[in-house]
Amino acid sequence: MADWQVVEGGVTAPKGFIAAGIVAGLKSTGAKDLALILSQSDAIAAGVFTTSQVRAACIDYCRQCLQLKASARAILCNAGQANAATGEAGWSDAQESARLLAQELNIDPQAVLLASTGVIGKRIKMEQLRQGIMPLVRAASEKGGADAAKAIVTTDLVTKEIALESTIEGRPVRIGGMAKGSGMIAPNMATMLGFITCDAAVSTGLWHQMLKRAVDRSFNQVTVDGDTSTNDCVLALANGQSRTTAITEDSPNAQKLESMLTAVCQHLAKAIARDGEGATCLIEVQVSGAPSDRAASQVAKTIVGSSLVKSAVFGRDPNWGRIAAAAGRAGVKFHQDELNIKLGDLVLMRNGQPQEFDRNAASNYLKTAAAGEYLQGDTVLISVDIGLGSGQSTAWGCDLTYKYVEINAEYTT
């Protein structure tokens, strides 16, 4: 049983954090489009970023800041323009964005981390951003987490946020998070956009290690369409306001904090997969019997990312052959006569042999899962055992629908 509870507030649930989300005019829709997360004291900062060779200016800016100083006070995120592939002008825009916020807050520009989301090749609408900085700062409050979560979305249908509370040394400790993402989802070292706040005291190196491992077990285990973004990043701030003793090395306290961090990241990652563009359901692939956890992850991600598997789920077609084929091409050696496949509780293959199963029941399972009526909510569970060892992993994705094509065919037109 988890040693924590869900609390309200998102990124402002931890002590010492305030946030805001406003309409600055960056989006043509008139929706909220500029977000701020602010720690009221210096916070240990860590980030994990896209490995794409085509990167947004905010990615390079954050990397530069964190290399110079592993602490920060604020995260500024604009939605509407990705500011990726925008050359020297885009870099200047990023620098000016940080400088403007720093001046308003009276802090060092290097204490401002940046994120952008929107159309690649489009620079930030700087006139609107300039005019938005002052009202954004004035709007920041302990109740501003929900507005901030709204201000970072693009094609998302819902906002994604959570906060958990536990105790360390008898004192309450909280971790909050919010994320955005719906399309262009196949993270490589990071995610779409994810922001984490924490009021525990933790050393710089350990906080970065915790974040990296949590991301590997969450955001790096989701896919919607196989496309890695130019703007993928997870930024995490820990300000120590819980007043616990600093966690500097592996210990029960460190393990508890990392478990909370991983749970926050996994909740957000699954919410992103469930909200995949055009999706009707979440797909969860559990792989066991692999020679290592890494190998299991490779198989799970290959299956959940298969266009044929995703299409079959959308068509409510229990075509287990597509699952077997995806497992077979994942690059992990195993004996096909030891392969086991289940759809929910239905056994489709045992020890490499096809099993008789009720196809109507399997199809109904897919239909009711997509409708959110099944016991597991709106999740289609696929279980695969490759019979080689103790390695195991879970990956998440969604079905592939006509709506996905429609959304992306008309994205800029």
Instruction: Provide the CATH number for the domain around residue 167.
Output: 3.60.70.12
Statement to judge: residues 106 and 208 lie in one domain:
yes
Beta-bridge mates of residue 166? 173
Helices (H) and strands (E) in the chain, counts: 11, 15
Q: How many CA atoms lie within 13 A of 393 on its CB side?
A: 25
Identify the pLDDT of residue 405: 84
Identify the pLDDT of residue 183: 67
258, 274, 290: which is the final residue of a domain? 274
Q: 116-155: per-residue pLDDT in tens?
A: 999 899 999 999 999 999 999 999 999 999 999 999 998 7
251, 274, 297: which is the final residue of a domain? 274
Q: Which two tokens stand for residue 88?
A: 């020297």
Identify the pLDDT of residue 224: 76
Statement to judge: residues 31 and 71 lie in one domain:
yes
Q: Which two tokens stand for residue 13?
A: 């649930």
Identify the pLDDT of residue 376: 43
Statement to judge: residues 109 and 189 lie in one domain:
yes
Beta carbons of 161 and 180 less than 8 angstroms apart: no
CATH number where 403 lies:
3.10.20.340
Which residues are known catalytic residues? 191
**Integer Cα distance of 344 and 337 in angstroms:** 21
According to DSSP H, which parts of 12-143 are helical? 57-68, 87-105, 126-139
Q: 219-278: per-residue pLDDT in tens?
A: 989 887 777 788 889 999 999 999 999 999 999 999 999 999 999 999 999 998 888 778
Beta carbons of 221 and 262 less than 8 angstroms apart: no
Identify the pLDDT of residue 155: 79
- Domain range holding 105? 5-274
Statement to judge: residues 170 and 304 lie in one domain:
no
Identify the pLDDT of residue 372: 58
Residue appearing with tokens 């966690």: 247
262 phi/psi in degrees, rounded to 5? -65, -40
Total domains in the chain come to 2
Counting as low any pLDDT under 50, the low residues of the chain are 373-376
Statement to judge: residues 174 and 312 lie in one domain:
no
Beta carbons of 225 and 264 less than 8 angstroms apart: no
Statement to judge: residues 13 and 144 lie in one domain:
yes
| Pairing between β-strand 391-398 and β-strand 282-290 as defined by DSSP bridges | antiparallel
